[in-house]
């Protein structure tokens, strides 16, 4: 499994980059102080870049910390790509708080060929490739009670329709679950859904690299996923609570015209309108 080598490189980088120097902030994106780039972000970006050059000839890298501004997401339908979030939860890492990790999704001609997720605090990596899935250690599974919690991720500076949808989603979460969680890392939130600690994950127009690596992993765990991709944003809900998923889909359609579709195979569909 080629991607297992990437997981090993990333795990090693986390191990040797635990100093305060790795937490140094290089820049703040668009004056959003919760969206920072650290030395560790850039180190993991370069690790990904080196891996692609050495082990995936012909593959192109799209990294959150790379130059992708002039690339349309429609190109994902053709060729081979590795989409990477080098450090999801950078601000948590800077402040010495928990919940951060690495994610990479390998696409080949519009289909998810594999994925890598590394969560150093959990001593966990997840690698899926060639319809095989490997874990560094067994998942710490937990049964949800009658009403579980929901992790809800959304970006800053949403427009009016998105804010209206957000308000409706928060009301839905409050009335149909044990409450909403946010701790600054979609990677960690999705992992906790996989482990059963959250009954659902809602990602509301988050960045594509914040979630795409988890799609085949969630599917392998028989967790229902519905999603919508446009440009470099993904909206998705992952849960086996059918009523909750249906109501989330209705809110997004009514407030923003976002129509979710099921993730049923490895093909990724991008809205080109």
Please check whether residues 102 and 210 belong to one and the same domain: no
Mean pLDDT along residues 206-211: 96
Q: What percent of the chain has pLDDT over 90?
A: 75
Please check whether residues 188 and 235 belong to one and the same domain: yes
| pLDDT > 90? residue 161 | yes
What domain range is 255 assigned to? 150-262
Please check whether residues 124 and 221 belong to one and the same domain: no
Look at the chain and report how many structural domains it folds into. Answer: 2
**Nearest-angstrom CA–CA distance, 208 and 68:** 12
**Nearest-angstrom CA–CA distance, 272 and 72:** 9
Please check whether residues 33 and 130 belong to one and the same domain: yes
Q: How far apart are the first and last CA of the chain?
A: 36
Q: Are 187 and 88 in contact (CB under 8 A)?
A: yes
pLDDT number for residue 105: 97
pLDDT-based confidence at residue 23 (cuts at 50, 70, 90): low
pLDDT number for residue 33: 44
Assess if residue 143 is contained within a domain: no
Assess if residue 43 is contained within a domain: yes
**Nearest-angstrom CA–CA distance, 123 and 181:** 22
The strand ranges marked E within 70-167 are 80-88, 101-108, 111-119, 124-129, 132-135, 150-153
**Averaged confidence pLDDT in the chain:** 90
**Nearest-angstrom CA–CA distance, 42 and 39:** 5
pLDDT digits over 98-154, tens only?
A: 999 999 999 999 999 999 999 999 999 999 999 899 999 999 998 766 679 999 999
């Amino acid at each position: 499994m080629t991607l297992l080598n990437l997981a090993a490189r990333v795990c090693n980088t986390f191990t040797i980059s635990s100093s305060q120097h790795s937490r140094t902030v290089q820049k703040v994106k668009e004056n959003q102080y919760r969206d920072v780039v650290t030395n560790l972000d850039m180190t993991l970006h370069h690790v990904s870049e080196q891996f692609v050059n050495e082990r995936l000839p012909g593959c192109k890298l799209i990294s959150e910390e790379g130059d992708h501004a002039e690339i349309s997401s429609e190109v994902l339908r053709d060729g081979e790509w590795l989409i990477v979030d080098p450090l999801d939860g950078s601000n948590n890492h800077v402040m010495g708080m928990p919940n951060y990790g690495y994610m990479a999704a390998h696409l080949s001609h519009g289909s998810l060929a594999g994925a890598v997720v590394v969560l150093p605090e959990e001593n966990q990596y997840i690698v899926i490739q060639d319809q095989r899935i490997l874990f560094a250690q067994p998942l710490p599974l937990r049964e949800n009670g009658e009403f579980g919690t929901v992790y809800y991720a959304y970006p800053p500076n949403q427009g009016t329709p998105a804010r209206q949808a957000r308000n409706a989603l928060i009301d839905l979460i409050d009335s149909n679950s044990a409450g909403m969680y946010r701790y600054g890392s979609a990677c960690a939130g999705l992992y906790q859904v996989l482990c059963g600690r959250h009954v659902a994950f809602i990602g509301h127009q988050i960045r594509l690299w914040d979630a795409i690596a988890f799609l085949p992993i969630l599917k392998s765990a028989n967790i229902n996923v519905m999603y919508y991709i446009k440009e470099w944003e993904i909206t998705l809900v992952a849960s086996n609570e059918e009523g909750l998923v249906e109501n989330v889909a209705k809110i997004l359609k009514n407030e923003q015209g976002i129509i979710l579709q099921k993730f049923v195979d490895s093909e990724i569909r991008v809205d080109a309108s």
